[in-house]
Chains A and B, each alone.
Chain A
Amino acid sequence: MELEKRGAVAPLLVTSTFLPLVEAQAKARRVTPRIVVVPHPVGGLNEAELAERIEAAAGALLPLADEARGSA
């Protein structure tokens, strides 16, 4: 969020469990974060499970990134 405040486009990959905390912290910091939610947890996943998370996250990130670049 500090990066976003400093002018960098900073999408956050957030695991679902931490989403409420990140949203509350963003509100406290007066920023509107670009969030990609990933099912919790990420730690402890095997290679195949992690690949699924990557695929899903990339599916959400690419249009978000395109939009940020297009509106810049």
Chain B
Amino acid sequence: MNSDWDLAVVGAGVAGLTAARVAAEAGLRVVAYDRMTPGGQLVNLTTLHDVPEPGEVTSSAGLLGRLVAEAEAAGVTMSFAEVTRVRAGAAPRLETSEGEVGARAVVVATGLTAGRLGLPGEELLVGRGISTCAGCDGPLFRGRAVAVVGDDDWTAEEALELAEVATAVTVLVPGQPRWSGERVGRLAASARVEVLTGATVTALRGEGVLSGVVVATAGSERELAVDGLFPYVGRRGPGALVDGLPTDEAGRLRTEGGVRTAVPTVFVAGDARSAATGSVPSAGADGEAAGAAAVAMLRPAGGPGLRIVDPTFGVQPADSAAEAQAGGTADWSEVALFSNSKPNATELLRGVGERLQEHWELPELGFASKPNASAAADKDVIDWLSQRYKMVLVAVGD
């Protein structure tokens, strides 16, 4: 079995980018996979609380930009193929959307799936009232009532962010809250927030669009009329992605102390790890540890060893040139808008697009959008846009 890479990192969020950067700085050939774009789940957040230190706040985009740039500078190769299976073993193999890949070691840093309640009809309402990104979709619920389900600090922060736009935010805590005392105070100080403990959502209401939920509390059940529902429970780890490693009840990978697993060539970092605390600083620390552990495992003799400098680093890959020529035969009268579906993004695009339409005397403008702000762009839509239009004006950020 050949190894295409010394280290393959699955997931390019805080933990993955950090692990990849540490290993690349030590001279390893490192690839980091993320099917969307580097940044992980923090791409959907505007502000990070308690980062870098408790009580401080940090720009999410700024932090991620720095992590991506540092990984890139260290020589990490970013891949946007989707990893569909990790076969743990002495010679790990990855199945990806672009074929099978071998690596001498793997760091699994996928984070967790989006929150879900596991109720009938739930998936049909995602993007139609159900969201897991207050920063992305919160303004859509301006002047309306929403519910948030969860018990941790993330839940509390999302509820507080939603309270800035929604008329009422009901926080449904399945058991007892685990958020910090500081957040207890901030939630209590918000007149728009009500916290219900021991509350379970038992059904969803709405035809095509969410209109409410059924909430069970201590022997009683009631209807709660809400237009938005933000679940932060039921998040799953990457257990189904990785063969041959034990998982906990949430599908997170169990380790044998720190980031090491039962398989010496496989490490776990960040929220994908069982017992992870779920904070940005701990994800970064995990990434540091996993990167260092991979280096130590691959270089047991000690010392930095010989660093092989990739002479093609920074050169446009051959397939990129081919892709660049693969665009459609559209002419300059074919222009479209592509919205990321964040609040006001479409309005901004349409306004700017109308100016371009007038300037170039275009007969019409095409339009496409992501299904919702926190979802990845549909590959078929990207294919269609690139083949059908000469220019596509894209909204990024919020």
Contact = CB atoms under 8 A, between A and B. Distances in A.
Interface in B207-254: none
Given A27-B72, A42-B342, A17 B390 contact: no
Contacts of B349: 13
A20 B66 contact: yes
A12 B396 contact: yes
Given A7-B324, A7-B386, A22-B397, A65 B360 contact: yes
Given A13-B394, A13-B396, A54-B351, A8 B386 contact: yes
B356 A21 contact: no
Contacts of B343: 42-44
A30 B321 CA distance: 11
Interface residues of B, number: 59
A43 B398 contact: yes
A53 B348 contact: yes
B355 A58 contact: yes
A21 B65 contact: yes
A28 interface: yes
A15 B328 contact: no
Size category, A interface: 35 or more
A44 B138 CA distance: 10
Given A3-B382, A14-B397, A62-B359, A24 B342 contact: no
Interface in A1-48: 2-3, 5-25, 27-30, 36, 38, 40-45
B344 interface: yes
A51 B348 CA distance: 8
A32 to B, nearest CB: 10
A72 B64 CA distance: 34
Contact of B342 (A2, A20, A43): A43
Interface string B359-398: 1100000000000000001000010011001111111111
Interface in B4-25: none
Interface in B32-65: 37-39, 43, 46, 59, 61-62, 64-65
Contact of B325 (A7, A28, A72): A7
Interface core residue of B325, B347, B348 (most chain A CB under 10 Å): B348
Interface of A: 2-3, 5-25, 27-30, 36, 38, 40-45, 50-51, 53-54, 57-58, 61-62, 65, 68-69, 72
8 closest residue pairs by CB, A with B: A7-B327, A20-B65, A18-B397, A15-B397, A43-B343, A54-B351, A24-B68, A6-B386
